[in-house]
């Protein structure tokens, strides 16, 4: 069974957010990785780009599908995981580690309170299966 780290916040679109001081690191959950299968391409924004909460910020392609990525928060992209350009499989290998996507400087950190904790996310996933 997939594990969902307790220190992260989660969205219904299967992104996670990790607060790191005044910035937030974002990636996709293990559940999303399992649904996608082997990731073959990750298309991300540039540093300096603005993103909107629940807005499209990139795409992820796998052997099964192309999926859109949605930002859990409104803010500015301050860092992009450049390693994914050459090694998209990092998302499969370590979705909560080296497979992270972007780091945002949130314009409204209070938006984090609207995200689910790990227990709520797992409960949400239970409504999807079957």
What is the per-residue pLDDT across 79-101, written as a single tens digit (0 to 9) for each? Answer: 999 999 999 999 999 999 999 99
pLDDT at 3: 77
Q: Which residue has the higher pLDDT, 113 or 1?
A: 113
CB neighbourhood size of 46 (10 A) = 8
Q: Name residues whose C-beta falls within 8 Å of residue 18's C-beta, 6 or more positions apart in sequence.
A: 7, 8, 9, 24, 25, 26
Of all residues in the chain, the percent with pLDDT exceeding 90 is 95
Q: Is the pLDDT assigned to residue 1 strictly greater than 70?
A: no
How is residue 47 written in tokens? 């540093």
Does residue 101 form part of some domain? yes
Domain count, the chain: 1
pTM for the model stands at: 0.95
CATH code (residue 83): 2.40.50.100
Domain assignment of residue 79, given as a range: 9-112
Q: CA gyration radius for the chain? A: 14
**Residue 62: strand pairing partners:** 39
């Amino acid at each position: 069974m997939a594990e969902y780290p307790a220190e992260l916040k989660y969205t219904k679109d299967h992104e996670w957010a990790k607060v790191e001081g005044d910035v937030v690191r974002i990636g996709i959950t293990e559940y999303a990785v399992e649904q996608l299968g082997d990731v073959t391409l990750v298309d991300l924004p540039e540093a300096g780009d603005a993103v909107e909460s629940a807005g499209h910020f990139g795409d992820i392609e796998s052997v099964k599908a192309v999926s859109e990525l949605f930002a859990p928060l409104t803010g500015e992209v301050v860092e992009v995981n450049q390693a994914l350009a050459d090694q998209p499989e990092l998302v499969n290998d370590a979705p909560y580690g080296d497979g992270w996507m972007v780091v945002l400087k949130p314009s409204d950190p209070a938006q984090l309170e609207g995200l689910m904790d790990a227990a709520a996310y797992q409960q949400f996933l239970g409504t999807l299966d079957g």
